Amino acid sequence: MDSSQVNNDDVERRPAAVLIAGPTASGKTSLAIDVARDLNTCIINADSMQIYKELHILSARPSKEEERRAPHKLFGYVSLVEPYSVMRWLSDFEKCFRQVQTEGKPVVVVGGTGLYFKALTEGFSHLPDIPEDVRCRWREAGLQQPSEILHERLAEVDPVVAARLEPGDTQRIVRALEVIEGTGQSLAYWQQKRTPALVPFEQTIGVVLDPPRAALHERIHQRFDAMMDSGAMEEAIAVHERQFDPSLTGMKAIGLRQLISAHLGEESVEGAIEKAKTETRRYAKRQTTFFRGQLTKWQRINPLNEAEVTTFRQQVRQRFL
């Protein structure tokens, strides 16, 4: 076998992407930049709030200085009014990914939206749109009726999915009911129509940043204080003045609603800040729960442990030698 064949085989065995997930404020941006510089490549965003142009500060997007240290893609590139979904992210990601592939480089994918990583590495079950009246009716039923009654109803119209769900799992029961009425097909049918994984996990290096909870909470508090110093209130006011529909996904960004409330005199700035910090801690907990339950094959490191971070970076570099 000649040397050129060996080199080609080496390239084929190299991972296509380095995936960096973790709860908010865990240090993902810093590590992503370091890894991207190690590999001389770009960073692609996998955070559902950092896509929005209007939310630079409140979504904790990389600063201009950080963006100068490595190329960043899919950050701050859509407006709050634009419809956005996992499928849209996968489509936009693929365009960036294919372009970088032509250069013979991997990509670094970083973010806190676990569903993006799951869809990227495992494929995605795309559901058609559910009529709004159907969705609203069943969600109202979920608030008004006992979950056991709803489970019995589901068993009548979709026994396969009903058998999978606990009678007390109201959220998933309601989802199954609205899907079968809205589409005429069982949720199980749509789940079987999963798209192929764009980048199978076996072709990646995946790491979840998992700092100690107390340290993460302190970082969350410090970061929100830094956001306020950087103009978070002004950003919130600017969004409010544009009179966006409050139901838009981007309007649910943590801190936005609280700061707008303070701006309108409905509560104190201090109270708004504390509420935003509390909600951020709760969000971090939900993220951590998802990562532990869903990203089970990924390695985990404490980003505050310099030795663990250094070892991870060395492992990544070795895979690309």
Q: Looking at the structure, do residues 98 and 136 belong to the same domain, yes or no?
A: no
CATH code for position 142 = 1.10.20.140
* Amino acid (1-letter code) at residue 220: I
Q: Looking at the structure, do residues 145 and 184 belong to the same domain, yes or no?
A: yes
SS3 204: strand
Q: 29 among the known binding-site residues?
A: yes
Residue 46 neighbours by CB under 8 Å, 6+ apart: 19, 21, 89, 93, 109, 110, 111, 112, 113, 116, 117, 120
Report the number of distinct structural domains present in the chain: 2
Q: Looking at the structure, do residues 166 and 207 belong to the same domain, yes or no?
A: no
Q: Kindly state the average pLDDT of the residues 79-86.
A: 92
Distance CA 253, CA 47 (A): 12
Q: Looking at the structure, do residues 105 and 236 belong to the same domain, yes or no?
A: yes
CATH code for position 80 = 3.40.50.300
Q: Kindly state the average pLDDT of the residues 95-105.
A: 96
Q: 28 among the known binding-site residues?
A: yes
Task: Give the per-residue pLDDT at 231.
Answer: 98
Q: Looking at the structure, do residues 119 and 139 belong to the same domain, yes or no?
A: no
Whole-number average pLDDT of the chain:
93
Among the ranges given (72-86, 101-115, 163-177), the one the predictor scored with the smallest mean pLDDT = 163-177
Domain housing 210: 3-124+196-319
* Amino acid (1-letter code) at residue 94: E
Q: Looking at the structure, do residues 110 and 170 belong to the same domain, yes or no?
A: no
Distance CA 210, CA 288 (A): 8
Q: Kindly state the average pLDDT of the residues 39-62.
A: 98
Last residue of a domain, one of 192, 221, 243: 192
Contacts 24+ apart (CB under 8 A), 311-315: 312/31, 312/207, 313/34, 313/35, 313/38, 315/205
Q: Looking at the structure, do residues 264 and 276 belong to the same domain, yes or no?
A: yes
Q: Looking at the structure, do residues 293 and 154 belong to the same domain, yes or no?
A: no
In terms of phi and psi (left: phi > 0; alpha: psi -120 to 50; beta: otherwise), the region of 182 is alpha
Task: Give the per-residue pLDDT at 126.
Answer: 76
Last residue of a domain, one of 192, 225, 240: 192
SS3 131: coil
Q: Kindly state the average pLDDT of the residues 7-14.
A: 54
Distance CA 306, CA 312 (A): 10
Q: β-pairing, 17-21 with 43-45?
A: unpaired
Q: 23 among the known binding-site residues?
A: yes
Task: Give the per-residue pLDDT at 11.
Answer: 46
Band the pLDDT of 193: cuts 50, 70, 90: confident
Q: Looking at the structure, do residues 76 and 206 belong to the same domain, yes or no?
A: yes
Task: Give the per-residue pLDDT at 256.
Answer: 98
Tens-digit pLDDT profile for residues 103-160: 999 999 999 999 999 999 999 887 778 898 998 999 899 989 999 999 999 999 999 9
* pTM for the model: 0.83
Q: 261 among the known binding-site residues?
A: no
Q: What percent of the chain has pLDDT over 90?
A: 84
CB distance 167 to 210 below 8 Å: no
Tens-digit pLDDT profile for residues 278-306: 999 999 999 999 999 999 999 999 999 99
Q: Looking at the structure, do residues 139 and 89 belong to the same domain, yes or no?
A: no
Q: Looking at the structure, do residues 215 and 307 belong to the same domain, yes or no?
A: yes
Task: Evaluate the CA torsion angle 190, 74, 94, 302 in order and state its sign.
Answer: negative
Q: 26 among the known binding-site residues?
A: yes
Q: Which of 18, 7, 60, 94 shows the shortest CA–CA distance to 280?
A: 60
Q: Looking at the structure, do residues 188 and 207 belong to the same domain, yes or no?
A: no
Task: Give the per-residue pLDDT at 139.
Answer: 87
Q: 22 among the known binding-site residues?
A: yes
Could you give the C-alpha distances from 90 to 93, 112, 162, 308, in angstroms and in order?
5, 15, 30, 31
Task: Give the per-residue pLDDT at 150.
Answer: 95
Q: 147 among the known binding-site residues?
A: no
Among the ranges given (15-29, 104-118, 159-173, 199-213), the one the predictor scored with the smallest mean pLDDT = 159-173
